[in-house]
A and B are shown apart, each in its own frame.
Chain A
Amino acid sequence: MTPALSIGNLRVTYDEFDALKDVSLSVAPGESYGLVGESGSGKSTLLRAVAGLAPVTGGMIEVNGNSLGSKRDKAFYRQVQMVFQDPYGSLHPRQTVDRLLLEPLAIHGFDNTESRIVRALDEVGLGSGFRFRYSHQLSGGQRQRVAIARALILEPSILLLDEPTSALDASVQAEVLNLLEQVRAARNLTFVMVSHDLAVVTHMCDRLMVMQHGREVEQLASADLSARRVTQDYTASLLTASEGFRRNG
C-alpha cells in the first residue's frame, strides 16, 4: 500500500542553521501520527516543510505516492490541509466565518458553496448561527472549530495539525480532540499531529516520533510509550517530566 505521506532524509535550512536534519518517516493512509519534542526540536518545521512553508534543502516528500517539488500545486492543497496553533492568529480578523469558509471553495472552484458551508459548520458542531460572525466574536474553542471547518471543507485526505489545542483550556481541549477524532473516523483522514504534550499525542496517535535538536530520537507506537517501553533516555526523561512535579525528586 502506498503511504499517505512519506518523507526521506528531509533537511530544512534557515540561513546557516539546520532546523531539520535528515528526518525520515512514513505514515499509512488513515493512520494518525504524532510528533513530540521541546521547542526548537524541529517538529513544527517538519509539518511546515510538508505544507510548503519551510525552505527544504534536501531529501524528499511524497504525498499519496506523488513526489513534491519546491512548489505546491492546487491539487496538493486539496489533499493536504493544515490547522495552526493559535486560533487568534490564523483567522482573518475582518472576514466573517462565511467569507473564511468560502475562500478555499472559490480558489478550488467548488460548486454548491452554500450547502458546503452549512454542512462544514454543522460537522464541527457550530451550527449556522455562527456563519455571519467575525472571529473576534468567537471564543478560542469556537475559532479552532472554524479553522478545522476551513481545513475540512476541501475534503482533504491528510490533515496537518500544529499544536491544535495548546492555546485552549483543558475542558475545551477535550472537546476539540473529540471533534478531531470524530471527523477522522467519519472521513478516514490521515493525521500528522505536532504537540509538546505527550499525553495528547498518545491519546490521539497510533505511532509517534520523538524529536530533539532537529533530529529523530526514536519512533515508537503510542502503546509502547504508555507502557514505558522506550529505548532512548531522552524519551524516558520526557515521560518523567510529563508526570508533573515531584518534591525532593
Chain B
Amino acid sequence: MSALLTVEDLSVSFPTRTGVVNAVRGVSFTLGRERLGIVGESGSGKSQTGRAIMGLTPEHGRIAAKRLEFNGIDLLSASKAERRSLRGKRIAMILQDPKYSLNPVMTIGRQIAETLRTHEPVSKAEARKRALDMLAAVQIRDPERVFDLYPHEVSGGMGQRAMIAMMLVAGPELLIADEPTSALDVTVQLEVLGILNRLVAERGMGLIFISHDLRLVSSFCDRVIVMYAGRIVEELPAAKLSEAEHPYTRGLLNCMPRIGADRHPLPVLDRKPEWAL
C-alpha cells in the first residue's frame, strides 16, 4: 500500500523573546488509509504536528522536515496557492469546539455549500443539494431546517456534526481531527465518533485523530503515536495499548481514575528529564 502521507523528521519551532521554542522535534510517521491516533498532554506538540500538515502553522513559526509528502505532492515546496487548493479539498481538519470554529454570522448550510463551491465548479442548487445530503449523512434528522440555522442556534453535538459535514463535503482523502469531541458530553461524544467512524470507513479516508485522551484514542484508532515534549516516545497498535513499554505511556494510562478501581492515592506521573531529550 502506498502511503497517503509521509512525514519524516518534522520540526516546528517558534522564535520568542526568550529564545526559540521547539514545539515539534523530529517527528516521523507514515499514514495509509487508516486511523492514526496522536496522543499527548498539552504542549506535547500533537496539535502543531497536525497544523503543519494542514499548512496552518502561524506565520512566524518555522517548519523543517526531510520529507513532508501528501500523495506524492511535496508540501514543503508547494506554493501558497497550491496549499490552498489542497486545504479543504483533499486535506480537511476538524477542530475542537464548534462554537469557535464555525462562522457565527453565516448559516450552517451556506458554510457547507461555500466549502464545496470553493473547490468545485458547481451550481448553487447543486451545492445546496449536496450540503443537504451531507447533513443527512451526519445523521441530522431535519437537514432542511438545520441548513438555515446559525451556529449559535444549535447544540454542541449538532455543531460538531455540521463541522464534520463541512469538512467531508468536498470528499477529502485525509482528515485531521484535532480533539473533535473534547468539548462534548460523553454520550454525545460517542454519537459523533460513531458518525466519524462510519464516514471514514465508507469513504476510505486516512484519519489523524489528535487527542489528550489515551483511552478514547485507543478505542477508536488502529495505531497510536504517543508524543511527549515534541517527540514521539512510542508508537504501537491501539489494541496493544496495555502492553505499552514507555514509562510515560504507562504512567499516563495509570494515573486516570477508573470506575470500580479503588486506588487511593492515584499513582502520579514521575516525569524523567531523559524523556524530553
Spell out A's residues near B (CB within 8 Å). 38-39, 140, 169-175, 177-178, 181-182, 196-200, 202-204, 225-227, 237-239, 241-242, 244-247, 249
For chain B residues 248-265, which have a beta carbon within 8 Å of chain A? 251-252, 255-260, 263-265
Most chain A beta-carbon contacts within 10 A, residue among B193, B263, B266:
B266
User: Is there contact, CB below 8 Å, between B257 and A177?
Assistant: yes
Interface centre among A174, A225, A245 (most CB of B within 10 A): A245
In the complex, what distance in Å separates the CA atom of A111 from the CA atom of B193?
A: 55
B-chain residues with CB within 8 Å of residue A39 when the two chains form the complex = 156, 185
- Given A169-B212, A227-B260, check contact A174 B193 (CB 8 Å): no
Selecting from B48-56, B110-118, B160-168, B214-222, the interface stretch reads B214-222
Q: Which residues of B in the span 7-47 have a Cβ within 8 Å of any Cβ on A?
A: 41-42
A83, chain B: closest CB distance, angstroms: 18
The answer to whether A38 touches B268, judged by C-beta atoms less than 8 angstroms apart, is: no
Question: Are A169 and B41 in touch, CB under 8 angstroms?
Answer: yes
Given known contacts A38-B185, A196-B185, A200-B257, A174 and B267 CB-to-CB distance under 8 angstroms: yes
13 contacting pairs across A/B (C-beta < 8 A): A38-B186, A38-B188, A140-B42, A169-B212, A170-B41, A170-B255, A171-B269, A174-B266, A202-B257, A203-B266, A238-B186, A238-B187, A247-B197
Contact A199/B256 with A171-B269, A174-B269, A238-B187 known, Cβ cut-off 8 Å: yes
The size of the chain B interface, using a CB distance under 8 A, is 35
Residue in chain A with minimal CB distance to B270: A171
Query: Is the beta-carbon distance between A182 and B197 smaller than 8 angstroms?
Result: no
Can you name the residue of chain B whose Cβ is closest to the Cβ of A204? Answer: B257
Contact A237 B187 (CB under 8 A): yes
Q: How far is the CB of B43 from chain A (nearest CB, A)?
A: 9
Q: Report the separation of the CA atoms of residues A247 and B258 in the bound assembly, to the nearest whole angstrom.
A: 21
> In the complex, A175→B268 CA distance in Å?
6
In the complex formed, the residue of B with least CB distance to A247 is B197
Query: Please, which residues of chain A bring their CB within 8 A of the CB of B258?
Result: 199, 203
How many A-B pairs fall under 8 Å by CB?
91
Residue in A171, A172, A177, A237 whose beta carbon sits within 8 Å of that of B251 in the complex: A171
Decide: A198 near B259, CB < 8 A? Known: A38-B187, A169-B41, A241-B189.
yes
Closest B residue by C-beta to A165: B257
> Contacts A169-B212, A170-B41, A246-B219: A181 and B264 contacting too (C-beta < 8 A)?
yes
Q: Which residues of A contact B193 (CB under 8 A)?
A: 245
User: Is B190 located at the chain interface by the 8 A CB criterion?
Assistant: yes
- Among B156, B216, B251, B252, point to the contact of A244 (Cβ < 8 A): B216
Residue in A38, A171, A196 with the greatest tally of chain B CB atoms within 10 Å: A171
In the complex formed, the residue of A with least CB distance to B263 is A203
CB contact under 8 A between A178 and B265, given known A38-B187, A171-B41, A242-B186: yes
> Distance (Å) between the CB of B3 and the closest chain A CB?
24
- Which residues of chain A come closer than 8 Å to B185, judged between CB atoms? 38-39, 196
Given contacts A169-B212, A171-B251, A181-B265, contact A241 B260 (CB under 8 A): no
CB distance from A179 to the nearest CB of B (A): 9
Least CB distance, B251 to chain A, in whole angstroms = 7
Interface contact A170-B264, CB-CB below 8 Å: no
Task: Specify which chain B residues have a CB less than 8 angstroms from the CB of A175 in the assembled complex.
Answer: 268
B259 touching A173 by the CB < 8 A rule? no
- Contact status of A171 and B255, CB under 8 A, knowing A178-B265, A241-B189, A244-B216: yes
Q: Find out whether the CB atom of A174 lies under 8 angstroms from the CB atom of B256.
A: yes
* CB of B260, distance to nearest CB on chain A (Å): 4
A244 and B215 in contact (CB under 8 A), knowing A174-B266, A174-B267? yes
State the CA gap A239–B258 with chains docked (Å).
Answer: 12
The 10 A-B residue pairs whose C-beta atoms are closest, nearest first, are: A203-B257, A174-B255, A171-B269, A226-B260, A38-B185, A178-B265, A169-B41, A241-B186, A244-B219, A174-B266
B189-230 contacts to A, CB under 8 A, are 189-190, 193-194, 197, 212-216, 219-220
**A residues near B257, Cβ cutoff 8 Å:** 174, 177, 197, 199-200, 202-204
Q: Which of B197, B213, B268 has the most CB of A within 10 A?
A: B268
Whether the Cβ atoms of A242 and B259 lie closer than 8 Å is yes
CA distance in complex: A204, B263 (Å): 10
Please measure, in the bound complex, the distance between the C-alpha atom of A174 and the C-alpha atom of B257, giving whole angstroms: 8
Q: In the bound complex, do residue A239 and residue B259 qualify as a contact, i.e. CB atoms below 8 Å apart?
A: yes
Q: Which residue of A lies closest to B253 (CB)?
A: A170
In the complex, what distance in Å separates the CA atom of A246 from the CA atom of B218?
A: 10
**What's the least CB distance linking A174 to chain B, in Å?**
4
